[in-house]
Amino acid sequence: MSDAARSVPEHSGSRAVSTPQRHVVFSHGQASGPWGRKISALAEVVRAEGYEVHSVDYRGLDAPRERIARLAEYCKGLSGDLVLVGSSLGGYVTVASASVLHARGIFLMAPALYFPQLPPLRSGIVDCPTTVVHGWRDEVVPYEHSVRFAQDSRAVLHLLDSDHQLYNQIRHIQNLFEYFLIALDLPATEDV
């Protein structure tokens, strides 16, 4: 099976049709790993919706620019639709990379945005459907940062009764993520 396309049999005979691959690539936070609790839970949704699941390992890389470079290097081998998902510092990496990687959509969980120690993001950097989930009681990244980002980028924002880890809301986040992936396939509607 090629990386570029997957062959699936047609209903009427033995001919094969190429269908483009669809990928979800996760970027974890600074204090976690590539298959932490949230990523593992969301990976179930990814597979159920017919996407290939990937999670980049950033352990040992503290510099945001190094993480962005690793994500770009990882994704250059993928073809088809690309959805990026980031948590905490992985959210920053996701936002910084989305337009360069031509992401079909991005889903962010408690993204570490607007911190003075991070390189500033240019205005209007996001050019694809975006959803942000953040906890009201986040002790690491103030939820106001996600409110500001959602306002600036016209992103969908969900504020949940949770902390930075969002563990008590995993099932709810799975539902939001499932809807996000389904909505990417819906036809665009005109603003009225």
Sheet holding 81-87, edge to edge: 52-56, 22-27, 81-87, 105-109, 130-135, 156-160
Residue type, 88: S
Cα 51–52–58 angle (5° rounding)? Answer: 125
* Higher local confidence (pLDDT), 56 or 190: 56
46, 24 contact by CB (below 8 A): yes
Residues with Cβ < 8 Å from 53, sequence gap 6 or more?
A: 23, 24, 26, 43, 46, 47
Q: How far apart are CA 86 and CA 75, in angstroms?
A: 14
Q: How far apart are CA 58 and CA 93, in angstroms?
A: 11
What are 103-126's pLDDT values in tens digits? 999 999 999 999 999 999 988 889
Q: How far apart are CA 24 and CA 54, in angstroms?
A: 6
Q: Is residue 96 part of a domain?
A: yes
pLDDT at 4: 36
Whole-number percent of the chain with pLDDT over 90 = 81
Name the β-bridge partners of 8.
17
Q: Which two tokens stand for residue 96?
A: 């910084």
Name the β-bridge partners of 7.
18
For 86, the domain range is 21-183
Mean pLDDT of 37-56: 96
Q: Which two tokens stand for residue 116?
A: 């003075």
Token pair 């607007």 in the structure block, residue: 114
What are 144-192's pLDDT values in tens digits? 999 999 999 999 999 999 999 999 999 999 999 999 999 998 887 765 5
Q: Within the chain, how many helices (H) and strands (E) appear?
A: 5, 8
| CATH number, domain containing residue 58 | 3.40.50.1820
pLDDT at 190: 64
pLDDT at 192: 52
Q: Is residue 190 part of a domain?
A: no
Q: Is residue 1 part of a domain?
A: no
- Domain count for the chain, please give it: 1
pLDDT at 191: 58
Q: Which two tokens stand for residue 89?
A: 């510092």
Q: How far apart are CA 26 and CA 173, in angstroms?
A: 14
